[in-house]
């Protein structure tokens, strides 16, 4: 993200000059269609008409529930919700029970229907997420998000309750970013939990979270996180504008957003950074960056980013300078191994063998005796085999994947050398290259280096 990086690298603005970025209201196609069809429909208190309208839209779903009852034994009412998407226990305890058995200070006979919303929200119901709603199209969207709608005969609006219930895994150690010294918790798929993990580490009023809804069908909630006074306001506004311009049917993972807001879609190198760790996200927020979270994705997307970040880990922040510098140097050496080692080997054997020491050249020529392929074909065949083996290891079950990697490296490699398809020195070169790619902390950066190896090898074999 070149433009985002340029904004980030500018001199930070003074705290008093930073203004809140404008709130951008995104209207997707489904919202527009709903508004065009039902935008003028109001929930005016006719309960039978309300039930008929909800059933005409959502009645084909077997899990859609219309629960009829009487509020205070006097007013006809109905609850609308999806039974597999809402918490039935909380509905029974905190909505139905107080509505059917009012407090002692409430006198139902003297209450009029138009005064019910304020009385229910302020004196009766045990909920902190209740709000009034008079638009039918908004009520449909709220039900689709797992909320409950309460409609009462004669009441000029409906009441919306938050009771969504989704089974999710507990907060555990991240699988993709292992550390020796560091926190043992990572993001999960629930957006609210992920935001709470960030607020736990940033107990400051300057920490900002802005929500947007993206996706015509999925209506995915996206959180934009930054620290006011540290993050450049122009950077935050640019992120807002790029997200608001996205038109897509579904956002199922944070990677969907990355492909829309990055500057160059054809670059093999990642232009934003993924992380599964809240502590790493907080470290980047403190440095002035912006983090994006999506409901349903256990990853955060950090922007902008520079190449050196892909060779940093969480432990680099907590380790001593001398030791951490040594480890980073080792990672850079691994970068050279994974990128240029095979092509350098091909170039030396094909065009510049005089640069190889005599004793070593004799050993290499002896190992290559009987190999029927030129060096470039030999290296390309081994690289392709390693990529296929790596992909097969990732896609197999965990119990089988480890055994396959051992069999592939030991048995197949040794058999290829014995059969004369490849030379032993080629196997060593490919092994060092593979180990070097494993030493890269960021998977997407390591993938870019793996892709670039192939054109470098072919250029080394041609020139």
User: Which pLDDT score is estimated for 11?
Assistant: 37
Can you tell me the distance from the alpha carbon of 456 to that of 340, in angstroms, rounded to the nearest whole number? 7
User: Which pLDDT score is estimated for 232?
Assistant: 93
Q: Which of 57-66, 255-264, 353-362 has the lowest mean pLDDT?
A: 353-362
Can you tell me the distance from the alpha carbon of 274 to that of 42, in angstroms, rounded to the nearest whole number? 44
Can you tell me the distance from the alpha carbon of 5 to that of 19, in angstroms, rounded to the nearest whole number? 20
How many Cβ atoms from other residues are within 10 Å of residue 180's Cβ? 9
The confidence band for 6, taking pLDDT boundaries of 50, 70 and 90, is very low
Average pLDDT, integer, range 108-131:
82
Contact 227/289 with Cβ under 8 angstroms? no
Buried b / exposed e over 356-382, threshold 16 CB at 10 Å, is eeeeeeeebeebbeebebebbebbbbb
Tokens 């092509």 belong to residue: 343
Show the CA angle centred on residue 255, arms to residues 390 and 398, nearest 5°.
Answer: 35
For CA atoms 262, 263, 268, 270, the dihedral sign is negative
Tokens 């449909």 belong to residue: 140
How many Cβ atoms from other residues are within 10 Å of residue 333's Cβ? 12
14: which 2 tokens?
A: 């003074």
DSSP type of residue 14: P
Q: Is the pLDDT of residue 279 over 50?
A: yes
Can you tell me the distance from the alpha carbon of 9 to that of 17, in angstroms, rounded to the nearest whole number? 18
Show the CA angle centred on residue 218, arms to residues 216 and 222, nearest 5°.
Answer: 95
Over residues 64-101, the pLDDT tens digits come to: 999 999 988 888 999 999 988 888 888 888 888 888 88
The confidence band for 409, taking pLDDT boundaries of 50, 70 and 90, is low
Q: Which of 36-40, 192-196, 323-327 has the lowest mean pLDDT?
A: 36-40
How many Cβ atoms from other residues are within 10 Å of residue 284's Cβ? 19
Can you tell me the distance from the alpha carbon of 285 to that of 277, in angstroms, rounded to the nearest whole number? 13
Q: Which of 213-217, 269-273, 412-416 has the lowest mean pLDDT?
A: 412-416
- φ, ψ of residue 299 to 5 degrees: the values are -125, 150
Distance between first and last Cα of the chain: 33
The length of the chain in residues reads: 463
309: which 2 tokens?
A: 């970040």
Can you tell me the distance from the alpha carbon of 347 to that of 457, in angstroms, rounded to the nearest whole number? 8
298: which 2 tokens?
A: 């256990």
354: which 2 tokens?
A: 């005089």
Is residue 429 left, alpha or beta, with left meaning phi > 0 and alpha meaning psi from -120 to 50? alpha
Average pLDDT, integer, range 198-208:
94
Task: Cis check for the bond before 334: say yes or no (omega within 30 of 0).
Answer: no
User: Which pLDDT score is estimated for 394?
Assistant: 78
Tokens 């930073």 belong to residue: 18
Can you tell me the distance from the alpha carbon of 284 to that of 273, in angstroms, rounded to the nearest whole number? 10
Contact 375/461 with Cβ under 8 angstroms? yes
Can you tell me the distance from the alpha carbon of 397 to that of 187, in angstroms, rounded to the nearest whole number? 23
Q: How far is CA 254 from CA 8, 301, 334, in A?
A: 21, 7, 29
| Run of H or E including 133 | strand 131-133
SS3 category, 8: helix
Beta strands in 287-445 (DSSP E): 290-294, 300-303
Beta strands in 270-361 (DSSP E): 273-275, 290-294, 300-303
pTM of the model: 0.79
Over residues 239-261, the pLDDT tens digits come to: 999 999 999 999 999 989 998 99
The candidate with the shortest Cα–Cα distance to 87, out of 148, 133, 144, 130, is: 148
- Helical H runs in 39-86? 47-58
Average pLDDT, integer, range 131-149:
89
């Amino acid at each position: 993200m070149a433009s985002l990086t340029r904004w980030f690298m500018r001199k930070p603005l003074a705290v008093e000059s930073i203004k809140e970025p404008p709130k951008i209201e995104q209207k997707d196609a489904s919202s527009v269609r709903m508004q065009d069809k039902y935008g003028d429909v109001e929930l005016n208190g006719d309960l039978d008409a309300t039930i008929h309208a909800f059933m005409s839209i959502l009645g084909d779903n077997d899990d859609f529930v219309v629960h009829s009852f009487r509020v205070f034994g006097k007013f006809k009412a109905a609850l609308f919700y999806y039974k597999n998407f809402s918490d039935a226990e909380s509905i029974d305890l905190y909505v139905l029970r107080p509505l059917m058995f009012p407090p002692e200070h409430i006198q139902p006979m003297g209450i009029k229907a138009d005064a019910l919303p304020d009385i229910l929200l302020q004196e009766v119901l045990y909920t902190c997420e209740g709000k009034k709603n008079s638009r039918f199209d908004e009520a449909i969207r709220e039900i689709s998000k797992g909320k409950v709608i309460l409609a009462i005969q004669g009441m000029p609006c409906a009441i919306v309750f938050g009771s969504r219930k989704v089974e999710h895994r507990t907060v555990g150690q991240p699988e993709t970013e292992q550390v020796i010294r560091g926190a043992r918790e990572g993001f999960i798929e629930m957006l609210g939990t992920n935001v709470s993990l960030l607020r736990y580490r940033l107990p400051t009023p300057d920490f900002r979270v802005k929500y947007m809804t993206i996706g015509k069908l999925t209506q995915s909630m996206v959180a934009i996180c930054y620290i006011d006074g540290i993050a450049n306001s122009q950077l935050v506004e640019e992120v807002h504008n790029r997200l608001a311009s996205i038109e897509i049917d579904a956002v199922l993972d944070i990677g969907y957003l990355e492909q829309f807001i990055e500057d160059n879609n054809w670059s093999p190198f990642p232009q934003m950074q993924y992380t599964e760790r809240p502590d790493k996200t907080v470290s980047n927020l403190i440095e002035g960056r912006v983090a994006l979270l999506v409901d349903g994705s256990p990853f955060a997307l950090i922007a902008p980013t520079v190449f050196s970040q892909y060779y940093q880990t969480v432990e680099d922040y907590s380790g001593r300078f001398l030791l951490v510098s040594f480890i980073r140097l080792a990672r850079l050496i691994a970068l050279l191994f994974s990128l240029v080692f095979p092509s350098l080997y091909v170039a030396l054997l094909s065009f510049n063998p005089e640069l190889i020491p005599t004793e070593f050249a004799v050993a290499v020529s002896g190992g290559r005796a009987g190999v029927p392929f030129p060096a470039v074909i030999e290296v390309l065949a081994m690289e392709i085999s390693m990529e296929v083996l790596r992909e097969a290891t990732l896609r197999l079950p965990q119990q089988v994947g480890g055994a396959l990697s051992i069999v592939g490296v030991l048995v197949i490699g040794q058999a290829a050398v014995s059969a004369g398809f490849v030379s032993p020195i080629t196997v060593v070169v490919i092994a060092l290259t593979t180990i070097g790619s494993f030493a890269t902390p960021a998977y997407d950066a390591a993938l870019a280096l793996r892709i670039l190896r192939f054109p470098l090898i072919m250029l080394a074999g041609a020139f």
